Structure 1
Amino acid sequence: MSFELLLQSISKRVTLNEEEQKVFTSFFRPRKLKKKTFLYQEGDIQQHIAFINSGCLRSYSIDKNGTEHILQFAPAGWWIADMQSLLNNAPSNLSIDAIEDSEVFLIKQSDIEDMYQALPQLERYFRILAERSLATSQQRLIDALSLTAVERYNNFCQRYPSLIQSIPQKYVASYIGITPEFMSKMLSQPMKKG
């Protein structure tokens, strides 16, 4: 597996010379996941952050009624982890699995500090990543509380344009907080622009 996409992602925020790139990539372990294969299951203690090199993963929880709630999709070029589990060394409330055949690069939480020691400029990259993730999570919560299903669907289409045609509608419905049946009915109606 090539580190090209990972290095492109890093280069948007920090510059690494060739030797630094080798040091950086040495902290990552490649892993291939077949469609429907778990990276982690609810109850596991997560030890890694994953960068998606190809394919797509999702994180989700299942409530006591058996309803699935998707928190995140992570297509190629994105990161995914259950940060609560990772940072607190606690059992995960989320499952993370591949929704298509995928290749990921994993970095252990325990190696991140070593990476920062070797390459201090990477703290900036991961700080920006964390800030953007927090801002996105806050906006998603506000949207869930204040927007209609159609507006949430339109936001999904803007956020994940490459996924709208490639993943099952039931996953999109779960992400925006509606049933697949409601989603089907909603999409059969003419959408209002605005």
Structure 2
Amino acid sequence: MNELKIYLETLAPFTKREIEVFISFFSEIQLKKKDYFAKEGEFSSKLAFISNGVMRAFFRNKSGHEYNKTFFTSSNFVAAYSSITTKQKNLINIQCLTDCTLFVADFRQLTSLYKNYPKFESLARIMAEYKFAIKEKREIELVTLEATERYSIFKKEHPGLENLINQYHIASYLGITPTQLSRIRAKK
């Protein structure tokens, strides 16, 4: 859990005691490639910190075509955020693209810390603002940039990821076909 401790220390000036309390809510689990952390139509209550591995958030349309929304990599939090915050069913799936080691906690138990540890509420706000900014940036890029520009941004923001996951996942994330991605890569 040292990775989680180090990550928390980069976000806010927590005391040693605050970090110990926060970390005490987490337990380590292992998920295999293709395992699901969250499934569409189910309720989620867990927040996880990825110690090792790669996951994707995606949804399926009515004909079963999958669209990758985002990727989660090591040293990041992952959750079906709309489900854990609204207590509604998941709209997305979160699946492992590699074997993953996660530190998992119940989100509602973590929020119970807010009253006695206001820094944790600040942490939640900081994380929500950060996730929103990333989401907004990505949405703008999808409608304003050419595929080659989106691919360049992907490579910069996710260095080495294309060597770990299937190319069709990257194509879906970029909003293009695998054939288009092959052409873009051939030109680089």
TM-score (norm 1): 0.91
Alignment match, 1:26: 24
Match of 2:178 among 177, 180, 193: 180
**Quick one: distance in 2 between partners of 1:51 and 1:107?**
9
Q: Deviations over 1:22-65 (max 9, x none)?
A: 21111112211011111111111111122111111111001122
1:136 matched residue in structure 2: 134
Instruction: Show the counterpart of 1:169.
Output: 167
| Offset from partner CA, 1:119-142 (integer Å, 9 cap, x none) | 221222221111111011011111
For the residues of structure 1 that align with 2:103 and 2:134, how far apart are their CA atoms?
23
Structure 1 counterpart of 2:64, from 63, 66, 69: 66
Q: Which runs of 5+ in 2 are unaligned?
A: none
CA contact (8 A) 1:173 1:180 kept: yes
- The alignment status of 1:126 with 2:124, answered yes or no, reads yes
Gaps (5+ residues) in structure 1?
none
Q: Quote the Cα distance in structure 1 between the aligned partners of 2:144 and 2:166.
A: 25
Q: Structure 1: which 4+ aligned runs deviate by more than 3 Å? A: none
Which one is further off, 156-165 or 9-18?
9-18
For residues 1-194 of structure 1, what are the structure 2 equivalents within 5 Å? 3-188=1-186, 190-191=187-188
Q: Is the 8 A contact 1:27 1:115 kept in 2?
A: no
- Give the whole-Å Cα distance in 1 for the aligned partners of 2:35 and 2:170: 19
Q: Kindly provide the amino acid, as one letter, of the partner of residue 97 in structure 1.
A: Q
2:57–2:71 Cα contact (<8 Å) kept: yes
| Aligned residues between the structures | 188
Cα deviation for residue 151 of structure 1 reads 0.7
Check the 8 A contact 1:60/1:71 in 2, yes or no.
yes
Q: Report the TM-score when normalising by structure 2.
A: 0.94
Aligned mates of 2:161, 2:116 — CA distance in 1: 36
Preserved CA contact (<8 Å) 2:67 2:173: yes
